[in-house]
Homo-oligomer: A and B are copies of this chain.
Amino acid sequence: MTAPVKPVPPVQLTLSPEQGALGGSNARYEKRLPDLAGLYRDTAAFEQLLGQDDGQPVYWVESSQTEEGPGGLITGISVLEPGKVGDEFFMTRGHLHAISDRSELYVGLSGHGVMVLETVSGESTVVEVRPGQAVYVPGNWVHRSVNVGTERFSTLFCYAADAGQDYSIIERAGGMKSLVFDQKGQWESRPNPDHRGYAG
C-alpha cells in the first residue's frame, strides 16, 4: 500500500504580510512597472508613471515548493503595492492554470483587495478579500488580484504543484472582461471595451 518512497522534509513557513515576506520560502519573483507595459488601458497615465518610476516592484511573490507532481502543493504569499494607473488599481497580470482544472486558494493576510474571476465561457465576478477572508478559485477560472486599498495587499495562496500558469490567455483576449477602477475612493468594476472573449 505504501510505496518505498523517500519523503521530502516538512517545511515551516513564517508569514510577514506587512513586510511582504515568507520566511522559509525558496523562490521569489518580482514585477516592476516596466514589466507591466500593456496591462493598463490608460497608456498615457502609464507612460507618465513610468517617467517617475523609482524602480521598486509593483508586486512580488515569495513561495515554497519542495515537491513536483500532482501530490505536491505550491504555497506562498502574493504582495501587491497600492497604487493606480489612471483610475485602474494596481493588479497582477492574472492567469489560468496551464492544467486548467487546477484550483487555487487565496487567503487575505493584509490590506484590502479583490479577486477578479472569469470563465472562458463569459462569466465574470469580483470577490472582496480582506484579512480573515478567503476565496476558493475553482478550476477553469481566469483570476487576477487587485489592490483596491491604500496599504499593501498580501494574500496566502496554495495550489497544486503541477498546475502551471497560462499568463497569455488574458493578453490574447484583449484584457479581462471586467476592469476594476477607483470611483471616488471606492472600487467598482466596468466592462473592458477591448475584451474579445477568451474562447476566440
Does A192 touch B at the CB level, under 8 Å?
no
Q: Within 8 Å of chain B (Cβ to Cβ): is A55?
A: no
Size of the A side of the interface (Cβ < 8 Å), in residues, is 59
Q: A39-77 toward B: CB 8 Å interface, digit per residue (1/0)? A: 000000000000000000000000010110111110100
Task: Check if B67 sits within 8 Å of A139, measured CB to CB.
Answer: yes
The answer for the CA separation of A137 and B156 in the assembled complex, in Å, is 16
Is B70 in contact with A70, judged by CB distance below 8 angstroms? yes
Of the candidates B14, B117, B136, which one forms a contact with A64 in the assembled complex, judged by CB atoms under 8 Å apart? B136
Interchain nearest-CB distance for A144 vs B (Å): 13
> Contacts of A99 on B, CB cut-off 8 Å?
71
Identify which of A27-35, A101-109, A175-183 touches chain B. Answer: A101-109
Q: Is A159 an interface residue (CB 8 A)?
A: yes
A37 within 8 A of B: no
Q: Which of A4-12, A79-87, A145-153 contacts B (4 or more CB under 8 A)?
A: A4-12
- A189 touches B (CB below 8 Å): no
Q: Are A8 and B135 in contact (CB under 8 A)?
A: no
A140-B100 contact, Cβ under 8 Å, with A107-B107, A158-B105: no
A125 touches B159 (CB 8 A): no
Task: Offer 30 A-B interface pairs, CB within 8 angstroms, sorted by A.
Answer: A2-B96, A2-B120, A2-B199, A5-B100, A5-B101, A5-B140, A7-B138, A7-B139, A7-B140, A8-B138, A10-B117, A10-B127, A10-B135, A10-B136, A10-B138, A10-B141, A11-B135, A12-B127, A12-B128, A12-B136, A14-B134, A15-B107, A67-B138, A71-B101, A71-B103, A71-B139, A73-B159, A75-B134, A107-B156, A160-B160
